Amino acid sequence: MSQLQQATPPPQQREEELKQRLNLKKISFSELKIWNECPFKHKLIYLDGIKKFKGNEYTAFGTAVHYVCELKVQDPDVDGEGTFQKKFVEEIKNLDLEEINKKLVVEMAEQGKNLVKYILPELERTFEKYEVVSVEEKIFEGITEFETDFNFY
């Protein structure tokens, strides 16, 4: 049995998920990004339910840094280094440990520890005329410029 067959949910489950999906009136930015990148890839991931890319050392690093950014903006007293290390280890454990580059992971752990202390100073420098209140805010805005059977909300 191929990996594609193993990752694909049973037809009845896919049909139910598709019905639920089509009833939604919103779409995430990530989903829209994948659709824009390749509509067929979007179909495979979001409509057919085939598992997508699981990540690697780089995505684990990015997820951990992004997580610390979100927390630090809300509470500047958050322990950035400790939070990064904990989240990075958690993300690495979710990967196929046989395929990761252990030397790279050690280097990234050190880089992340050093990087997170610059989050707030760089936000203040970059957005000095603004108050940063959130790292990622959900915005529900209708797209009405073109006709489609899919609502991008």
Q: Domain residues for 38?
A: 3-47
The answer to whether position 42 is within a domain reads yes
The answer to whether position 88 is within a domain reads yes
pLDDT digits (tens, 9 = 90+) for 93-128: 988 888 899 999 999 999 999 999 999 999 889 988
115 and 62 share one domain: yes
The answer to whether position 37 is within a domain reads yes
Structure tokens at 106: 């050690």
**Which carries the bigger pLDDT value, residue 150 or residue 135?**
135
Count CB atoms within 10 A of the CB of residue 148.
7
83 and 122 share one domain: yes
33 and 72 share one domain: no
43 and 77 share one domain: no
The answer to whether position 153 is within a domain reads no
68 and 119 share one domain: yes
pLDDT digits (tens, 9 = 90+) for 4-33: 444 556 667 766 766 666 665 567 777 887
Question: To 10 degrees, the CA torsion angle through 102, 107, 108, 114?
Answer: 150
Per the prediction, the chain carries an average pLDDT of 79
Report CA-CA distances (Å) from 49 to 41, 60, 64, 92, 97: 11, 23, 26, 24, 25
111 and 66 share one domain: yes
pTM: 0.60
